[in-house]
Every structure is written in structure tokens, then in C-alpha cells.
Structure 1
Amino acid sequence: MSELFPRKQVMGFLFSLLLTAVALAVYFFDMSYAAGMTILLVTAFVQAGLQLVVFMHAGETKDKGAIYTNVYYGVFIALVTIFGTLLCMIWGYV
């Protein structure tokens, strides 16, 4: 009967709740801007990875290498876009 229980999904859900509580604690505790943003960014990326692996079953198919390559490429493009925008609009480089 224990093989029918979705232990991995339940543990993933509980860990997601824990990460959400940590991110919510940033709001309730009076943290500095840098500490709050660091905690929020770390919890956001960890939770996104958790969702991808546990609930979207990214590593359970035979083409998991292609899936992870596409995820890395998407993260790279997002970071280039974000930092390029900051570079041009905020930091004043053209």
C-alpha cells in the first residue's frame, strides 16, 4: 500500500509551503532591502526548481537532457534580458 502513496508529491508540497512561509516572513520581519531580496530570490528559484522536478516530472522521461537544456537556456535568456535592461535603463550604459 505504501507504494501507492504519493510520498514525493506530498513532501514536495510541504517543502513548497515551507518556502512560501519563509518568503512571507520577509514581509513580517523588518529586514533590510538587500537581505529581503536575497531571501526572496533564493526561495523563488528553489521553489521554481522544485515545481519543475517534482510536479512537472521533468527528470522522469528519456529526453530529460533536452528538457534541462531548454530550462537552462530559458534562464540564461531571462538573465540576459533582465541585466541588459538594468544596464541600459538604470545604470546608464548605452
Structure 2
Amino acid sequence: MSELFPRKQIMGFVFSLVLTAVAMGVYFFDMSYAVAMTVLLITAFLQAGLQLVVFMHAGETEDKGAIYANVYYGVIIALFTVFGTLLVLVWDMG
């Protein structure tokens, strides 16, 4: 019966709740802008990784290398897009 109990999903859900509570703590506690943004960025990336691995089962198939490569590629493209936009529009280096 133990193998039928979704222990991994329940632990992932509890960890998601903890990460959400930490992120909401930024709102309720008076933190400086730098600390608040650091906490929010860390919890956001941990939450995204947790969702990808635990609930979307990214590492449970035979082609997990291709799945992770696509995720890394997407993150790199997103970072280039964000920082390229900041360079041109905000920092006026275009």
C-alpha cells in the first residue's frame, strides 16, 4: 500500500505552500527593496523548478536530457530578451 501513496507529490505540495508563505512574508514584513526582491526571485525560481520536476514529471522519461536542455534554452532566451530590453530601453546602450 505504501507504493500507492503519492509521497513525492504531497511533499512537493507542502514545499510549494512553504515557498508561497515565504513569498507572502515579503509583503507582510517591512523589508528593504533589495532584500524583498532577492527573496522573491529565489522563491520564484525554486517554485518553478519544483513544479517542473515534481508535478510535470520532467525527469521521469527516457528523454529527460532533451527536456532539461529545452528548459535551459528557454531560460537563456528569456534572460537575453530581458537584459537586451533593459540595455536598449532603460540603460540607453543601443
TM-score under structure 2 length normalisation? 0.98
CA displacement, residues 51-94 of structure 1 (integer Å, 9 cap, x when unaligned): 00000000000000000000000000000000011111111111
Q: How many residues align?
A: 94
**Which secondary structure does the structure 1 equivalent of 2:8 belong to?**
helix
Amino acid at match of 1:56: M
CA RMSD, Structure 1 to Structure 2 (Å): 0.5
Task: Report Cα offsets for 1:7-42 as digits up to 9, x if no partner.
Answer: 000000000000000000000111111100010000
**Where in structure 1 are there 5+ consecutive unaligned residues?**
none
1:69 is matched with 69
Query: Identity over the aligned pairs, expressed in percent?
Result: 78
Q: Corresponding residue for 2:12?
A: 12
Q: Which residue is equivalent to 1:47?
A: 47
